[in-house]
Amino acid sequence: MKLILIGIQGAGKSTQGNLLSEKLGIPYLSTGHIFRELAREKTSLGRYIKEVMNAGYLISDEKTLQIVTEYLHRPEYENGYILDGFPRTIAQAEAFKNGIDKVVYLKVSDREALWRLSYRDDNNRQDETLTAIRKRIEQFNLLTKPVLDYYRKIGKLVEVNGESSIEEVFQSILEGIGKGG
Ligand code: AMP
């Protein structure tokens, strides 16, 4: 099964992604994590990624597509995966032809996400400044909301209320992707 998780920062994507990975026996990967790793490299690509990420903007579609495609060609992702953080723009969604089964949208309000992030204990992330988080939410509303409509139109979108408990959200996702009960 190939699943995509979409939601603003603080929506619970990595929590649910890891739970789903365990339950379904397929690997979880996140583009945010991949980019954070690349940002540590002292190369021009690393420096570019670091700068863009820390400001809360998106990495270019071209670079993102190149990096994600390369990752998904690895043998461990052959039988499926849970992909968090991609696609984030219409251009990425249109270029990405990978036989996706379902796209799960973890819906939380901007307010709830900001509240959760301010209490998060892994606050050592350089890209988690309030300015960057606000910019990321703005970019989500502008660029990623249309991606939801794109998948809704082709009948692949599963919309879940991300503000309930971790277990409740998890059960709603399982039902939405036909693995509940
Ligand atoms: P995340 O952990 O998903 O919030 O991602 C952190 C940062 O990585 C984002 O703010 C972007 O700068 C970058 N990023 C992650 N996924 C993508 C994507 N699909 N397209 C462009 N940039 C991305």
pLDDT in tens, 56-69: 899 999 999 999 99
**7 near 84, Cβ under 8 Å?**
no
Please tell me the predicted confidence (pLDDT) of residue 122.
61
Candidate from 34, 35, 40 with most ligand 1 atoms within 8 A of CB, to mutate? 35
- Relative to the CA of 87, which ligand 1 atom is closest? 19
**81 near 28, Cβ under 8 Å?**
yes
Distance in Å, CA 124 to ligand 1 centroid = 17
pLDDT tier at 5, thresholds 50, 70, 90: very high
Name the residue with the closest Cα to ligand 1, atom 3: 32
Please tell me the predicted confidence (pLDDT) of residue 104.
98
- Percentage of residues of the chain with pLDDT beyond 90: 77
Query: To which CATH superfamily is domain 2-176 assigned?
Result: P-loop containing nucleotide triphosphate hydrolases (3.40.50.300)
CA distance linking residue 120 with residue 115, whole number of Å: 9
Measured from CB, residues less than 6 Å from any atom of ligand 1 are 9, 30-32, 35, 52-53, 56-59, 64, 85-88, 92, 136
Name the residue with the closest Cα to ligand 1, atom 11: 58
- Relative to the CA of 35, which ligand 1 atom is closest? 8
Question: pLDDT digits over 150-168, tens only?
Answer: 999 999 999 999 999 999 9
How many beta carbons lie within 10 A of that of residue 76, not counting itself?
A: 11
CA distance linking residue 69 with residue 180, whole number of Å: 30
Distance in Å, CA 181 to ligand 1 centroid = 33
Single pTM value for the model: 0.91
Distance in Å, CA 72 to ligand 1 centroid = 16
Name the residue with the closest Cα to ligand 1, atom 1: 32
Handedness of CA 45, 48, 51, 52 (dihedral sign): negative
pLDDT at 125 over 70: no
Number of H helices, E strands in the chain: 9, 5
The structural domains of the chain, with segments of one domain joined by +, span 2-176
